[in-house]
Structure 1
Amino acid sequence: MPTSVELPHWDLSDLYPSLASREYAAAREAFGAGVVRLEAMFDEHDVRGGDPVEVNESTVEAFEVSLTGTNEILNELRRVNAYISSFVTTDARDDEAQAELSGLQKDTARLSKLRTRLDAFVARFDTGQLVSASTVASDHAFPLERAALRASHQMTEAEEALASDMSLTGASAWYRVYSDITARITVPVDLPDIGTKELPMAQVRALAKDENRTTRKHAFEAEIEGWTTWSVPIAAALNSIKGEAATLNTRRGYASALEPALAFNNVEPETLDAMQRAVVASFPDFRRYMDAKAALLGVGDHLAFYDLFAPVATGADGTIDWDGATGSVKDAFAGFSPALAGLATRALDDKWIDAEIREGKGGGAFCMSVDADRSVVLLNFDGSFDSVQTLAHELGHAYHNTQLANRTPYQRMTPMALAETASIFCETVMVEHGLATADDKARLNILEVDLQGSCQVVVDIHSRFLFEQALSERRKDRALSVTELCDLMADAQAQTYGAALSVNHPYMWAAKPHYYGTAFYNWPYTFGLLFGIGLYAAYRDDPEKFRSGYDDLLSATGLASAAALAARFDIDVTSEAFWTASLDVVRARIAEFCRLAEAAR
């Protein structure tokens, strides 16, 4: 992997010197004590479900102190959790950090029970009257609507409390099993001109971007072998997590596993259906892109899975070092606004980013809010142009967090569909900046990186959506075997990629951590991509007007539905025509890629 400098590790030592420090111990103890005090306050004010309550001075006071206290303890949790997670996610072998995380989860389970009680308490009010009587309620009007909706699907208080307690040895524990296993997997890979080398799974998967097809194929085969070796415990984790979800969804009165995900995302089923219809209609176009790439690479009529991420540029043209990556991101961001460019500079200067691939570190990438307007970003930077896009994507999340900094935790509760707004908008900024000055050769490379990502977010994401739908439905009846999980994954890929994929990846259910955390964390990426393209179109139509409203939009992602926020820019997310128009932008890029690829052959 090319780099001119040592790849950065993040640094949170200004929060606490170490996990063994007195400062950390004091903060950790304060959080635990705060949860105990909050519980006593809830008991004092009878904050729980029950019969409707009158809006009067006493009940308004009970509501206000309860919500304010909950917001305060959630801010404390954010800071402590980020600090512990900064160790666990970069080294799963850190037993001290793992022990701290386990202890923290016990306190957060207790806090979760209190938040469930607060939802039930809110549902006892006439929310319109409460909002009129309380400034605190007025400031949280939309979150209170969502709280009342969640409460309508609650079990009894005792059952919800038991579910929260059991999650520590149930879904939460199984997620940790999955995370610990996958972060520690190493597999031998037969590398051309080097020989067999034992590599962490994250590094093996990164070889999918290597320009040498033999390397990619051997890495893919080694990856599949690795997942096969560990498939039984990983399948046990997935079955346990989805089995628990199926039981709780039924007890809470949800008709399907998707229903709570839509409710959490403030997205109506009609909106998702409109988007999915437009998505399915675009598959022939993406297959045309894939076949054009196969011809350009000279790998036959169709791509194998291990060709999906292959660069069309080779040698020095196909790689970028860390300085080049960060420089290109800052330049592109500066073209949009000084504030966005300043965020990138701050993240680099203040050591927000952990970019090095290393054993024990989790795969993929994420952005995590720490406190105030500060975030940290985990990457596995491999020198590919795709990893530059990932850097821009995660810094987009960090910028979003700066706009949420003055909101309370309940106001910051951004649904998945809107959580990807700033991140994918930043990817679009990167693409448009690159295309603006590129010659045909450079345009081909830029379009390939962009379409590779779009293909994943539209085509592959839909395969993951279909897989999770099928898995969730079947898991209601029984656990699924490794073979059945692989068959479901292969079938989902066949429905989306079609004949354009000559070799599939039956173990994507093991490779993607999203299945083991938040349910249906797949289609929101598609929503974010197409919504982001729509936003960029609004930006190009009137840059100054867009800039003046963009930060306000990001600061309000927890305060209104997706449809209401989109309407600020005259976007109708309930219309299939909107999603089709965004995909037409992608279709135009596919057409240009195919033309340039034909000329380059």
Structure 2
Amino acid sequence: MTTTQSLPHWNMDVVYPGLDSPEFAQDFAAAIAEVNSLAQLFDASGIEKRDDLNVDDQLTHTFEQVIDRYNAVLAHITTVYVYISCFVSTNSRDEVAQARASELENALVTLSQLDTRLTAWLGSLDVERLIAHSTVASDHAYILRRAKEQSVHMMAPAEEALAAELNTSAGRAWEKLHSNVTSQLSVTLELDGQRQQVPMSVVRNQASSAQRETRRRAYEAELAAWKETAVPLAAALNSIKGEVNTLARRRHWESALDASLFTNSIDRQTLDAMMRAARASFPDFRRYMHAKAHALGIPQLAWYDIFAPLGTTDRVWTFNEAEQFIVDQFGTFSERLSSFAARAFREGWIDAEPRPGKRDGAYCTPLRADESRVFTNYKPNFDGVTTLAHELGHAYHNFNLGDRTELQRTLPMTLAETASIFCETIINQAALKNATRQERIAILEASIQGACQVVVDITSRFQFEQNVFERRKQRELSVDELNEIMLQAQRDTYGDGLDQQTLHPYMWAVKGHYYSSELSYYNYPYMFGLLFGLGLYARYQQDPETFKKGYDELLSSTGLADAATLAGHFGIDLHSEAFWTASLDIVRRDIDTFCELTRTKS
């Protein structure tokens, strides 16, 4: 599926004229100077673990001064960092951007060390007394209480400082290696009858081709390319998981997963209830996979058939059509959401064109105040439309956080998917209205396919990561071992829904989410986000007007309370498997409809 329409690149000139501009150089230097000045303030104010602190007027004044300055510095450095990152992610061969990113590392290390010191200092305080005596503290009450809890899981100050400093040449360096290697990976592939060297993002986009032979060739070319580059990626993965295990143990967490659960503001009861409901839904997702295979006229889906289009395959969604549809349908929820989306398109927040040096996938990143940037490799089909809507949902979430301080804007991944899933659901439900049979099949298939990825595939990734973390405690794992762990996870989750001979052993190399030393288990929060978002959409359907009144405030408050507290505002009990099952029931109903539509001939 192709289109000749040019796809937009995002507009970064509104921030600075360019990476080599005097304006950027001046602000870059100013941001680093502000970090160093903040470090001096921490030193002068004794911001570190203490045993002799009393919450009095002087300490309250110190706290307010430090927090105000810290928020300001975080806001400034975030804009500079994201500006550079936008150039790196769209062109990893940009040597100027890579150099600037490297230069910024020392300042980011210093900030990480200051964050650790602040957490330790807050852990030394009677935070409840401070909250009662300071408006600033009251506004940041949730952050203070979390810091008090986190302080229990900290190494000695010198060890924490050393860990932050070493991360530049350890975990973060391995993460950068993975990003650079995979974004620059060139693959030999036959396209339009000619063998060409193309980026991996182009190869992976072939997974949604209507031609099975094209999908198969792309799949085989992809596996061959991952095999050639697997050794350095395995070294990166082993190093990162080893580091995370070491730090989790030294910080007195029972496991890397327990540390992750704290970071994501949920507990083990919530995770277990959600995962039980997910596994109980696997037979339904396998029903969907069998029905899709039947519709495609094949005995069983291969891995390269997962994203095969169904229904109206001749519909090309140009980017302009996607824009208009999203803006219009967001308006069915609220004028505020629709106007926001129109602004994002109008002001050039979106980079949509796949090209050499650009990394694969999609994401949204906050840039400054209420402004974000959306990254996608746009495909001119309905999946491309829903991905765009999903990322704009993240941007809308950032928009609602615009009036919060930087510390208040820090939210767990579990809640980060709230608006994106909700917006994606709006688009899916809108597209189903007045659709023909073939269009309904295509829309339902795209929606269920996405849910299958987030429930079934995410479970496989979670299982893989659990096994790797556990086995990495003993020794490093070879490429073959990583492949086998991944294959077993896929067998356990997809079951007979997929041909067991055509799975994807190198999915551990594909997913950049595994390569973060600071955000381990970058998988189950996506499932949480999907099912929480669906649960919220169900509440919206039950009482639209009441829901609308509280929705934007919910998004604005996601950095001010844990997931269970925020869910409670809508009468949701996250410890109850019944809630997660009810969210999955929405998907089951879609699967029922899909199976019925694909059984009939007209």
The TM-score bracket by the shorter chain reads: over 0.9
1:557-572 equivalence runs, <5 A: 557-572=558-573
Counterpart residue number, 1:524: 525
Q: CA deviation at 1:4?
A: 5.5
Q: CA deviation at 1:66?
A: 1.4
3-state SS, counterpart of residue 188 of structure 2? strand
RMSD: 1.1
Counterpart residue number, 1:549: 550
Counterpart-to-counterpart distance in 2, 1:286 and 1:404: 35
1:73-88 equivalence runs, <5 A: 73-88=73-88
Counterpart-to-counterpart distance in 2, 1:429 and 1:2: 26
Given that 2:372 and 2:395 are in contact with CA atoms closer than 8 Å, whether structure 1 keeps it comes out as yes
Q: CA deviation at 1:2?
A: 3.5
1:188-337 equivalence runs, <5 A: 188-191=188-191, 194-300=193-299, 302-313=300-311, 315-317=313-315, 319-337=316-334
Counterpart-to-counterpart distance in 2, 1:52 and 1:12: 48
Counterpart residue number, 1:341: 338
1:490 to 487, 490, 495: 487
1:85-484 equivalence runs, <5 A: 85-191=85-191, 194-300=193-299, 302-313=300-311, 315-317=313-315, 319-484=316-481
Counterpart residue number, 1:38: 38
* CA separation of 1:539 and 1:4: change in aligned 2, threshold 3 A: farther
CA shift digits 1:418-450 (9 cap, x unpaired): 000000111111111112222322211110000
- Does residue 597 (structure 1) correspond to residue 598 (structure 2)? The answer is yes
Q: CA deviation at 1:343?
A: 1.4
1:65-76 equivalence runs, <5 A: 65-76=65-76
Q: CA deviation at 1:314?
A: 5.2
Counterpart-to-counterpart distance in 2, 1:576 and 1:52: 45
Given that 2:312 and 2:442 are in contact with CA atoms closer than 8 Å, whether structure 1 keeps it comes out as no
CA shift digits 1:176-212 (9 cap, x unpaired): 1110000000111134x51322110001001000000
1:13-52 equivalence runs, <5 A: 13-52=13-52
Given that 1:211 and 1:314 are in contact with CA atoms closer than 8 Å, whether structure 2 keeps it comes out as no
Counterpart-to-counterpart distance in 2, 1:13 and 1:530: 38
* CA separation of 1:149 and 1:600: change in aligned 2, threshold 3 A: farther
Normalising by structure 1, we get a TM-score of 0.98
Given that 1:4 and 1:323 are in contact with CA atoms closer than 8 Å, whether structure 2 keeps it comes out as no
Counterpart-to-counterpart distance in 2, 1:158 and 1:314: 61
Counterpart-to-counterpart distance in 1, 2:110 and 2:284: 50
For structure 1, the residue ranges without an aligned partner over 5 or more in a row are none
Q: CA deviation at 1:50?
A: 2.1
Given that 2:303 and 2:503 are in contact with CA atoms closer than 8 Å, whether structure 1 keeps it comes out as yes
Counterpart-to-counterpart distance in 2, 1:153 and 1:566: 26
Counterpart-to-counterpart distance in 1, 2:82 and 2:308: 34
Counterpart-to-counterpart distance in 2, 1:294 and 1:383: 23
Counterpart residue number, 1:54: 54
Identity of aligned residues (%): 49
3-state SS, counterpart of residue 230 of structure 1? helix
1:573 maps to amino acid: L
Normalising by structure 2, we get a TM-score of 0.98
CA shift digits 1:82-124 (9 cap, x unpaired): 1101110000000110010011111110111011000011111
Q: CA deviation at 1:68?
A: 1.4
1:207 maps to amino acid: Q
For structure 2, the residue ranges without an aligned partner over 5 or more in a row are none
Counterpart-to-counterpart distance in 2, 1:52 and 1:7: 60
Aligned residues: 598
Counterpart-to-counterpart distance in 1, 2:194 and 2:542: 54
Counterpart-to-counterpart distance in 2, 1:442 and 1:97: 43
1:2-17 equivalence runs, <5 A: 2-3=2-3, 5-17=5-17
Given that 1:3 and 1:323 are in contact with CA atoms closer than 8 Å, whether structure 2 keeps it comes out as no
CA shift digits 1:435-472 (9 cap, x unpaired): 22223222111100000000000000000000111111
Between stretches 230-239 and 435-444, larger displacement belongs to 435-444
3-state SS, counterpart of residue 378 of structure 2? coil
3-state SS, counterpart of residue 196 of structure 1? strand
Counterpart-to-counterpart distance in 2, 1:295 and 1:431: 23
